Amino acid sequence: MNILHVCANPKPIEQSVSKQLAARFFGKLMELNPDVELNNVDLYQDKPPYYSNDLYRRCWMPVFDAAYEPTKAEEAAANYAQKQAEAFKQADVLVLTMPMWNFAMPAVMKAWMDQVITPGLTFELSATGPKPLHNVTSIVLLVASGGIYKEDDDRDALTRQVRAAFGFIGIKDVRIAWADGQNPLFFSDSEVRRETAFEAAEELAEELAEESAEG
């Protein structure tokens, strides 16, 4: 199993519930399947640039104009996207670790998605729709939030965006371990909720290890 782990959280692990979720997930997975190939991308170490017009032209002009030739600046603007897309294409499982901020994902994760979900890199676009250019079949989403959200909660833009954007490039299987209710001012059971989420993360690791053993 080849895993690309992308983490969007500036906190040290002792202060971050989502990073602790990731530690529990990977701890269990490595225990059950030591052959896992793991590539870690820390978006606060390797920050994605914001989308630029040069990047737009380099990636989208070929879709519409076969005669398009990129300028040097347009070539250079695609460096980060190309590097991250290479890592993406090595993976069969994508693990995303992040907190919920303002009902959505941290901006740095959205910026990474804008770079990676790009035509010619991770999908091909034709009149019949998008076709994947990668082998990722599953996403594991490890998230922490102060509040509690019911399934399909209108306020939750985070899981919706992950499902919609990666679904667009052919990844329909999204598994979630969510430590919700982490604000102890509002939820007296925040520690219990965290422990339940840690267990859910370990169960997801068990599922993946089993599926990988079955081939």
Say which residues have a Cβ less than 8 Å from residue 92's Cβ, sequence separation at least 6.
1, 2, 3, 135, 136, 137, 138
Residue 27 or 147 having the CB closest to ligand FMN? 147
Using the minimum distance from each CB to ligand FMN, give the nearer residue, 18 or 138: 18
Binder of ligand FMN out of 51, 60, 101, 187 (CB under 6 A): 101
CB of 9 to ligand FMN, least distance (A): 5
Q: How far apart are CA 184 and CA 49, in angstroms?
A: 35
Q: Contact, 1 vs 212, CB < 8 A?
A: yes
Interface residue with ligand FMN among 45, 102, 128, 188 (CB under 6 A) is 102
Contact 156, 147 (CB under 8 A): no
Nearer to ligand FMN, 90 or 196 (CB): 196
- In the complex with ligand FMN, the residue whose CB is nearer, 75 or 153, is 153
Which residue of 116, 141, 144, 176 would you call a contact of ligand FMN, by CB under 6 A? 144
**CA-wise closest residue to 17 among 139, 203, 195:** 195
Structure tokens at 178: 């969510």
Provide the angle, in degrees to the nearest 10, between the axes of the packed helices 107-116 and 79-90. 80
Helix (H) or strand (E) holding 144: strand 138-144
Binding mask 170-199 for ligand FMN (x = CB under 6 A): ------------x-----------------
Cα–Cα distance, 161 to 102 (Å, whole number):
13
Stretch near ligand FMN under the rule CB under 6 A, chosen from 28-36, 63-71, 96-104, 120-128: 96-104
**Length of the chain, please?**
215
Binding mask 11-50 for ligand FMN (x = CB under 6 A): x----xxxx-------------------------------
Q: Which is nearer to ligand FMN, 55 or 109 (CB)?
A: 109
Give the binding site for ligand FMN (CB under 6 A). 9, 11, 16-19, 99-103, 144-147, 182
